[in-house]
């Protein structure tokens, strides 16, 4: 795998659909007509474009044939967007072109950088279209390759990387293929909440919890459609998997919280932003064992290979330069994620929601259900595909979870376009989303106060400061509820009444919508509001597995040599996944899959 930057995974910026407006300004030279053999007019030029958190400004120095230096001024997210910019600077200097490998998916940070770089190089007299063509060294002849390993994994998101590390720890050599340019999948852009019963952290906060409570809430929260045996594995192994992650160097905060739709305060939050902590932890390990764990990006698995006895012994994939055949002597693990970004597939299976065609998604663009299709092609049982989860927390423009101003369930309310509450804000995700869809324009405002943001530089669960969100117009701030109501266009009297009623419920613990999760009143300025809409978030259906992650066929018989873990599987969560259970699922079952496959039986 080609490494770009310290950790390929952590360079991923948040997935968003982006519209960039580049501003052109020359720095300190006047382009002259380049010599016939030159590419640029030597000098230093400035380029600008919009990034994720505002303007990206590049100062680019060139000589006649190459990019000599690039200096960047920006406010991109630390640990994500800033690393994307650093990675692209290194590539641009190495290649002296615009044919760069962008971060996985179309992102504000990477596309903003490219627009700013193009702006600067135009002023340097470059032929922009020619610079976008890859050089001969990158247009190598098609060449098929064959790789022999013990455990082969399809997908390099959280489940796939967990499986890779676990398989290696259990003595296996590993090959991982990932169709996207970078590893990380949905895990790296997640809000990072991880549910686990944790006596140490919860007891310190006065929170009573138990494995049985987590089991019951998960089972009943999915309308009792989840497989009880799989749920039992999840809740019993969630915390041991946190301990495993910590043994690998990952750090979690000392407190837990209730994540949206999580129903109870047991969500753990990593120290690193978004899901980068999980991916960095796995990549740290993998980078230390590169001779025995190989990752191929931009390599899309297409077909599973079975021997004459029906055992899965590998798969065929399409790489950048030809066909890649991976032979696996011990097992193949499918960890390719769900199908939230596949509109046709969503519409094919959806029976629970109005049409999902025009609903955006929180998922990265590679979440298209490929692994499910491959497994079904060899008669694997595919179950509960209609169970598609929506959230009420999508960004109105992109559908992503970024920009969400809530910090936890207990300290915020939802109001509709009239300024009225309309649902229990601590309810199941499907309950809240259905209630939101019944509101005018299917939109709502999240309302919080200083309890959630003690200072302007306090960040949300996506590492965005509240001040930056207000500056970008993605959140609103006021010293009074009346002023906040005017800013967001709702009836001031209604908003004030809604907050007053909520505050009374904090004292009485009796709420008109049946809410039971409370902490602080909304009574301390400044007050904040953020707009949210429904968005497709998780697909609970997929490949049927056993408690050891072995894939079973339509007759209930295990398919030898084939395993699956993560969102590609079905039957764990039922009709509705509790918030915070996805990362517990991904990491726990990824770990189990790696260990099971390494046994080779």
Give the range of the structural domain holding residue 115, as residue numbers without chain letter: 9-138
Looking at residues 576-583, what average pLDDT do you find?
A: 97
Please indicate, yes or no, if residue 38 is contained in any of the structural domains: yes
Task: Specify the CATH number for the domain of residue 200.
Answer: 3.50.50.60
Confidence tier at 110 by pLDDT (50, 70, 90):
confident
Q: Which residue has the higher pLDDT, 17 or 376?
A: 376
Query: Closest Cα to residue 591, out of 164, 228, 282, 183?
Result: 164
Do 218 and 351 lie in one domain? The reply is yes
Do 41 and 99 lie in one domain? The reply is yes
- DSSP letters, 252-301, are EEEEEEPPTT--SS-EEEESSSTTHHHHHHHHHHHHTTTTTEEEESS-EE
CA–CA separation, 444 and 360 (whole Å): 16
Do 285 and 306 lie in one domain? The reply is yes
356 is written with which tokens?
């999902």
Which of the residue ranges 12-26, 209-223, 490-504, 519-533 would you say has the lowest mean pLDDT?
12-26
Looking at residues 440-459, what average pLDDT do you find?
A: 97
Please indicate, yes or no, if residue 558 is contained in any of the structural domains: yes
Please indicate, yes or no, if residue 2 is contained in any of the structural domains: no
Helix 581-599 with 158-169: angle, nearest 10 deg: 40
Residue at which a domain ends, from 485, 506, 535: 535
Do 401 and 422 lie in one domain? The reply is yes
Degrees, nearest 5: CA angle 488-494-500:
110
CA–CA separation, 197 and 212 (whole Å): 10
Do 566 and 452 lie in one domain? The reply is no
111-115, 135-139, 355-359: range with highest mean pLDDT:
355-359
Q: What is the pLDDT of residue 390?
A: 97
CA–CA separation, 110 and 406 (whole Å): 27
Please indicate, yes or no, if residue 303 is contained in any of the structural domains: yes
Confidence tier at 130 by pLDDT (50, 70, 90):
confident
Q: Residue 390 forms beta bridges with which residues?
A: 536
Q: Is beta strand 23-24 parallel, antiparallel or unpaired with respect to 174-177?
A: unpaired
Looking at residues 493-518, what average pLDDT do you find?
A: 96
137 phi and psi angles, rounded to 5 deg? -65, -20
- DSSP letters, 450-463, are TTT-SSTT-B-TTS
CA distances from 333 to 100, 229, 310, 337, 376 (A): 31, 20, 16, 12, 14
CA–CA separation, 392 and 400 (whole Å): 11
Residue at which a domain ends, from 488, 507, 535: 535
Q: What is the mean pLDDT of the chain?
A: 90
Letter string b/e over residues 209-234, b meaning 16 or more CB atoms within 10 A of that residue's CB: beeeebbebbbebbeebbbeebbebb
Q: Residue 176 forms beta bridges with which residues?
A: 153, 295
Task: Specify the CATH number for the domain of residue 57.
Answer: 3.90.1010
Q: Is 421 a catalytic site residue? A: no
> Is the pLDDT at 136 greater than 80, yes or no?
no
Q: Where are the alpha helices (DSSP H) in 314-369?
A: 343-349
Confidence tier at 174 by pLDDT (50, 70, 90):
very high
Task: Assess contact for 544 and 453: CB atoms under 8 A.
Answer: no
Confidence tier at 287 by pLDDT (50, 70, 90):
very high
Looking at residues 314-336, what average pLDDT do you find?
A: 96
Do 115 and 13 lie in one domain? The reply is yes
CA–CA separation, 482 and 529 (whole Å): 12
CA–CA separation, 128 and 60 (whole Å): 15
Do 213 and 338 lie in one domain? The reply is yes
Q: What is the pLDDT of residue 175?
A: 98
Do 379 and 410 lie in one domain? The reply is no
Q: What is the pLDDT of residue 59?
A: 94
> Is the pLDDT at 181 greater than 50, yes or no?
yes
Which of the residue ranges 94-98, 432-436, 474-478, 479-483 would you say has the lowest mean pLDDT?
94-98
> Cα 126 from chain centroid?
36
Q: Is beta strand 174-177 parallel, antiparallel or unpaired with respect to 293-296?
A: parallel
Which of the residue ranges 64-73, 234-243, 379-388 would you say has the lowest mean pLDDT?
64-73
> Is the pLDDT at 12 greater than 80, yes or no?
no
- The number of folded domains in the chain is 3
Do 528 and 544 lie in one domain? The reply is no
Helix 581-599 with 228-247: angle, nearest 10 deg: 90
CA–CA separation, 154 and 475 (whole Å): 39
CA–CA separation, 502 and 504 (whole Å): 5
Task: Specify the CATH number for the domain of residue 526.
Answer: 3.90.700.10
> Is the pLDDT at 363 greater than 90, yes or no?
yes
Q: What is the pLDDT of residue 97?
A: 87
Do 238 and 329 lie in one domain? The reply is yes
Confidence tier at 24 by pLDDT (50, 70, 90):
very low
- DSSP letters, 117-178, are HHHHHHHTT--HHHHTSPPGGGSPPP--EEEEEEEEEE--SHHHHHHHHHHHHTT--EEEE-
Please indicate, yes or no, if residue 284 is contained in any of the structural domains: yes
Which of the residue ranges 81-95, 229-243, 438-452 would you say has the lowest mean pLDDT?
81-95
> Is the pLDDT at 230 greater than 80, yes or no?
yes
> Cα 283 from chain centroid?
16
Q: What is the pLDDT of residue 219?
A: 98
Please indicate, yes or no, if residue 66 is contained in any of the structural domains: yes
Q: What CA dihedral angle connects 396, 397, 403 and 407, to 10 degrees?
A: 20
CA–CA separation, 240 and 234 (whole Å): 10
Looking at residues 326-350, what average pLDDT do you find?
A: 97
> Is the pLDDT at 195 greater than 90, yes or no?
yes
CA–CA separation, 505 and 493 (whole Å): 18
Q: Which residue has the higher pLDDT, 401 or 235?
A: 235
Confidence tier at 9 by pLDDT (50, 70, 90):
very low
Please indicate, yes or no, if residue 4 is contained in any of the structural domains: no
Confidence tier at 10 by pLDDT (50, 70, 90):
very low
> Is the pLDDT at 268 greater than 60, yes or no?
yes
Q: Which residue has the higher pLDDT, 572 or 50?
A: 572
Do 207 and 348 lie in one domain? The reply is yes
Residue at which a domain ends, from 535, 561, 586: 535
9 is written with which tokens?
């995974």
10 Å CB burial of residue 310 (0-12, 13-18, 19+) is middle
- Give the 3-state secondary structure percentages of the chain, helix then strand then coil, rounded to 5: 30, 25, 45
> Is the pLDDT at 23 greater than 50, yes or no?
no
Q: Which residue has the higher pLDDT, 99 or 383?
A: 383
Query: Closest Cα to residue 64, out of 35, 90, 89?
Result: 35
Please indicate, yes or no, if residue 423 is contained in any of the structural domains: yes
Do 175 and 200 lie in one domain? The reply is yes
The predicted-structure confidence for 425-449, as pLDDT tens digits, reads as follows 999 999 999 999 999 999 999 999 9
Q: Give me the catalytic one of 429, 474, 515, 591.
A: 429
Tokens 């009836």 sit at which residue? 491
- The counts of H helices and E strands in the chain are 15, 22
3-state secondary structure of 55: strand
The DSSP 8-state label assigned to residue 577 in this structure reads P
The DSSP 8-state label assigned to residue 361 in this structure reads B
Task: Assess contact for 49 and 43: CB atoms under 8 A.
Answer: no
Q: What is the pLDDT of residue 439?
A: 97
Task: Assess contact for 277 and 286: CB atoms under 8 A.
Answer: no
């Amino acid at each position: 795998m080609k490494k770009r930057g310290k950790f390929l995974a952590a360079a991923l910026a948040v997935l968003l659909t982006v519209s960039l407006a580049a501003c052109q300004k020359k720095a300190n030279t006047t382009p002259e007509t380049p010599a016939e053999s030159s590419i640029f007019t030597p000098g230093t030029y400035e380029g600008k474009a919009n990034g994720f958190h505002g303007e990206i400004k590049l100062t680019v120095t060139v000589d006649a044939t190459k990019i000599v230096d690039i200096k960047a001024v920006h406010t991109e997210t630390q640990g994500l967007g800033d690393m994307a910019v650093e990675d692209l600077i290194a590539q641009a200097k190495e290649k002296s072109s615009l044919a760069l490998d962008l971060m996985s998916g179309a992102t504000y940070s990477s596309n903003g950088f490219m627009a700013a770089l193009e702006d600067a190089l135009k002023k340097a007299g470059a032929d922009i279209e020619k610079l976008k063509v890859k050089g001969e060294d990158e247009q190598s002849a098609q060449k098929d390759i064959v790789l022999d390993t013990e455990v082969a994994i399809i997908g390099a998101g959280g489940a796939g990387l967990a499986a890779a590390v676990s398989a290696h720890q259990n003595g296996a050599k590993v090959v991982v293929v990932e169709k996207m340019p970078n590893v990380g999948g949905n895990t790296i852009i997640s809000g990072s909440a991880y549910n686990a019963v944790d006596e140490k952290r919860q007891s310190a906060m006065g929170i009573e919890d138990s494995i049985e409570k987590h089991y019951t809430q998960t089972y009943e929260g999915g309308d009792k459609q989840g497989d009880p045996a799989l749920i039992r594995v999840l809740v019993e192994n969630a915390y041991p998997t946190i301990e495993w992650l910590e043994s690998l160097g990952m750090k979690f905060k000392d407190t837990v919280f209730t994540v949206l739709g999580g129903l109870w305060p047991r969500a753990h939050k990593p120290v690193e932003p978004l899901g980068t902590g999980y991916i960095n932890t796995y990549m740290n390990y993998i980078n230390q064992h590169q001779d025995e764990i190989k990752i191929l990006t931009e390599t899309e698995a297409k077909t599973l290979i079975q021997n004459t006895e029906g055992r899965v012994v590998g798969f065929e994939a399409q790489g950048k330069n030809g066909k890649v055949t991976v032979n696996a002597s011990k097992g193949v693990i499918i960890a390719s994620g769900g199908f939230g970004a596949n509109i046709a597939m969503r519409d094919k299976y959806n029976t629970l929601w109005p049409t999902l065609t025009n609903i955006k998604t929180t998922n990265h663009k590679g979440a298209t259900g490929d692994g499910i299709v491959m497994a079904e092609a060899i008669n694997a049982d595919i179950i509960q595909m209609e169970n598609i989860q929506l959230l009420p927390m999508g960004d109105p423009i992109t559908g992503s979870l970024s920009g969400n101003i809530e910090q936890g369930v207990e300290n915020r309310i939802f109001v509709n376009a009239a300024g009225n509450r309309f649902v229990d804000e601590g309810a199941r995700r499907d309950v809240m989303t259905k209630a939101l869809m019944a509101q005018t324009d299917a939109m709502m405002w999240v309302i919080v106060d200083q309890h959630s943001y003690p200072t302007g530089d306090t960040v949300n669960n996506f590492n965005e400061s509240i001040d930056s969100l207000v500056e970008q117009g993605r959140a609103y701030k006021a010293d009074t509820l009346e002023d906040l109501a005017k800013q967001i266009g709702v009836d001031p009297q209604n908003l004030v009444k809604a907050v007053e009623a909520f505050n009374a419920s904090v004292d009485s613990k009796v709420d008109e919508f049946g809410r039971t999760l409370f902490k602080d009143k909304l009574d301390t300025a400044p007050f904040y509001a953020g707009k949210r809409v429904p968005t497709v978030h998780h697909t609970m259906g997929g490949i049927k597995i056993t408690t050891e992650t072995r894939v079973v066929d339509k007759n209930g018989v295990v398919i030898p040599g084939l395993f699956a873990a993560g969102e590609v599987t079905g039957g764990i969560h039922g009709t509705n996944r509790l918030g915070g259970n996805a990362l517990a699922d991904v990491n726990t079952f990824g770990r189990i899959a790696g260990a099971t496959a390494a046994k080779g039986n």
